[in-house]
């Protein structure tokens, strides 16, 4: 029988990890060299993907991460 350990994280930890991964994606993707429309589209898709990956529901925490990413990528 295989044992599985479930790690429960607080919302703050989850959002911090999501933010870290998002900023890493921004830096590696080169999206900051794209047009504003392309950056917005990329950010929409990436935020949706990461929210699902981390199980974060839309709300103030996710909005805060998005605003940070928009400032970072000059949107």
Query: What are the tens digits of pLDDT across the range 24-46?
Result: 999 999 888 999 999 999 999 99
- Mean pLDDT for the chain overall: 86
Quick one: 40 exposed, middle or buried, by C-beta within 10 A (0-12, 13-18, 19+)? middle
**pLDDT value of residue 2:** 59
Report pLDDT for 8: 47
pLDDT at residue 10 in the model: 62
Provide the whole-model pTM: 0.78
Domain residues of the chain, as ranges? Answer: 11-72
CA angle at residue 43 from 9 to 10, to 5 degrees? 10
pLDDT digits (tens, 9 = 90+) for 44-54: 999 999 999 98
Token code pair at residue 36: 């504003």
């Amino acid at each position: 029988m295989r044992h599985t350990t479930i790690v429960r994280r607080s919302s703050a930890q989850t959002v911090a990890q999501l933010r870290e991964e998002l900023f890493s994606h921004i830096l590696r993707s080169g999206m900051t060299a794209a047009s504003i429309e392309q950056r917005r589209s990329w950010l929409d898709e990436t935020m949706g993907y990461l929210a699902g990956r981390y199980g974060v529901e839309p709300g103030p925490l996710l909005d805060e991460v998005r605003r940070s990413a928009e400032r970072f990528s000059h949107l």
